[in-house]
Structure 1
C-alpha cells in the first residue's frame, strides 16, 4: 500500500504525537499481577513450602488468564495502531512496524534468555524443583528454539527451560507480529472473516488433534485471544460503528455493573466454561465440539479494555499511579517475576524467617511482588529505555492532532480520535 505521506512524515516530531489510551497501563498491571500471584504460590510448592497451588483451582487458572488478557490487549492495540496509520497516511510501513517490535521486545527477551540459560544455573539458590533438569535437558536444542523466538515449540516438544520458560508467550506474540501486518495490508476487506475463522479453528482444533505435542503447542498459541482483541481494534478504528457501540446498553452503567460482577465472580471461583461433565458449560456446533472458555474470557477482557479506554461513562478508573507505574514496566514484571520471587524467598530463608505460615508468609508475597516491580523498573531504565527512546523518536508514527486535541478538549468528542499506546 502506497500513500502520499513519506516515512519522514510519519515519524517527524512536532504537534502530532503518539497518545496514551486511558486505563490500559492499569490493564497491563492487572494482567502482570495475576501472573505474579500465580507464580508466587507455584514457587512455594517448588521450594518445599506450604502451598495451595496444586489444589486451588482459581489460583491455578489465574496466571493463564492473565496471559490471555495480555494477548487480547496486544491484538487490540496492534490492530488499532495499524489501521490508524493506514487511515491517516494511506499506507502501513511494515518495515517500521518490525523495527518497533524489535526495539521493544528483543533487548529484554534476549537478556532473560542469557540469565535463564547461562547465569542463574550457576547459583544453587535458584536450583528449585525441576528447574535444573528442565534447563540442562536438550540444552542446545532449547537454546536454539528460544533464540529464534520459538520457546512455545520447545515447551510442546522437549519442555520449557526453567527461568526462561515465561518467554513462551513472547514467542507467540512475535509470531503474530510477523504475520498480522501483512494480513492487514493485503486483505483488509477480509479481516473480520479471517479473525472469526481463526477464533473457531483454535477453539476447536486445540482439543481435537491426535498428537500430544500439537495439543500442547495449540494450548500456547492463543491466536484466538489475539483475534478477539483484533476485532476490538477494528471496532475502535471505525468511525461508523465505534460511537454506536459505545452508546449502546453494553457500555451503560447497569451493563458495566453486570459484566464487572460476572468477570469478578469467574476469576474468583475459577469458572471453567469447558467442563465436559457439565453440559451447560459446553457448546455443540453440529457434530463438532467447540471449547468456548478462552472465547468467553477473551470477550469479557475485550469489553473491559474498550470500557476503560473509550467509554467516558466508565465506572472503573484504572488510571491510578501505582497501577500506571506497574503497567509501564509490566513487560519486565512478567519476564523477571520468577527470578524475583525465588530471590525473595531465598533471601528471607537465609535470614531464618519462618515462611510456613503467619504474617511472614503474607509478607513474602508482598516482598516477591515488590522485587518483581523493582527488577522491572531497573531493567526498564538500564536496558529497555534507550531502545524505546530510539523507537519513539525514529520509527513510531506521530499522528496529527485534531482541532479538539489542539484546544485541549476531550479527545473522545471526535469518534475518529483513537489514541495509540506509545509503548506499543
Structure 2
C-alpha cells in the first residue's frame, strides 16, 4: 500500500509475456488498478452494507490489506533486485530514505492528528501510554488502540519487513532466496496454525506474538519477484499465469476461496487465498495486456489506486466525520449512501494530501542508484 509501481524504463503495454520487456518495464500499468481493488475491499470492510450476511465474501474485505502486502513485497523486491543487477549492488541507505520519504510524512501526520485529538483535546489521558508506540511502528503488537489508529498495524508489519528483508537480500546468495522464502512462509503458517506454539512475550501495552494477519502474503510477493527476476523462472510462471484470461481466473479464485473458506481463515485457508493473490499479481505483470487491463487502467480507477496509501490512512477519519454529520443532521444514513459518501471523502482528503504534503516530501526522494 506504500509503494510506487515505477521500476525501470518506459515501454508500451505488451501482449504476449516477454522476459526482456518485463525486465525493462518502468511502470506496471495494471497495478494501480489492482490497488483500487485492494482499497475498495478495505473501504467496504469498514462500512459493510451487509454486516449480518451469512455469505462469507461480504465480510472479508479486510483481505484487501493482505493483497496490498503481496503487492508491496513484489514491488520492493523487484526494485532492489533490478538495482543490484544494474549497479552490482543496491544502496541500503537510499532504500531506507525512499521508504521514509514515502511512508513517514502522511503516517506521522495522521498519528499526531488523531493522537492529539483524543489525548489532548478530548482528555483521554489513559491513551498517552500507548501513543508513542505508533511512532516506532509497533502498533501491530499493541493490546489496545487509540480510536481510528487500529489500521496502522499493517504499516507496522510492512516497516518491520522492510527493516529485515533488504538485509536478507544483501547477505544471502540469490540461489537461496527461493527456499528461504518458502521456509519462512511454511513456518509462518505452521505457527499461526498452532503447530509450533510459542508463549507470547508481554511488555507493558505490547504483546509480542505472531499476529493473526500473517507475514506470509508479503513474503509470497517477494518470492514471486525473485522467481520472475530470472528468465527461467519467468518462463515457468508465465507458462501458467501468462494467458489472456489468467488475471480474471486469479480474481475469481480469490472470490471463490473467500466464499468457501471456513470462518477462521488462519493457517491453510489464508495461505490458499494468498497464493491466489500472488497468482493474480503475477498474471497482471507478466502479461500487461489482458482481459482486465481495460478496467484496471481506466483513468479514474487508476487514480484511485495512485492515492490509495492516503485513502487507507485517512478513511477511518472520513468515516467518523460522515457518521457524526449524518447522525447529527438526519439521525443516521442509509448504509449504501454511507459507503459511497465516506469513500469519496476519503479519496478527496487523500488527493489533497497527495498534491500537498506528499508532493513536498517527494522532492527529496533519492534516485535509484548503486551508490
TM-score normalised over the length of structure 1: 0.73
Aligned to 2:137: 149
- Structure 1 segment 14-413 matched on structure 2, within 5 A: 19-41=26-48, 52=51, 57-63=56-62, 65-120=63-118, 136-137=125-126, 139-154=127-142, 158-189=143-174, 190-208=176-194, 209-211=197-199, 217-220=209-212, 222-246=214-238, 248-253=239-244, 255-256=246-247, 258-267=249-258, 269=259, 271-272=261-262, 291-312=267-288, 314-317=290-293, 318-352=296-330, 354-355=332-333, 360-391=334-365, 394-397=366-369
Q: Does the C-alpha gap of structure 1 residues 259 and 273 become closer, same or farther in structure 2, counting only changes over 3 Å?
A: farther
Structure 2 distance, partners of 1:236, 1:185, is 18
Structure 2 distance, partners of 1:102, 1:304, is 29
The runs of 5 or more residues in structure 1 that have no matched partner are 1-10, 42-49, 125-131, 276-289, 399-424
Larger radius of gyration: 1
Structure 2 distance, partners of 1:260, 1:366, is 23
Structure 2 distance, partners of 1:361, 1:261, is 26
Structure 1 distance, partners of 2:140, 2:286, is 33
Structure 2 distance, partners of 1:363, 1:176, is 37
Structure 1 distance, partners of 2:33, 2:248, is 19
Shift, 1:151, TM fit:
0.7
- The number of equivalent residue pairs is 341
* Aligned-CA RMSD value: 3.0
TM-score normalised over the length of structure 2: 0.83
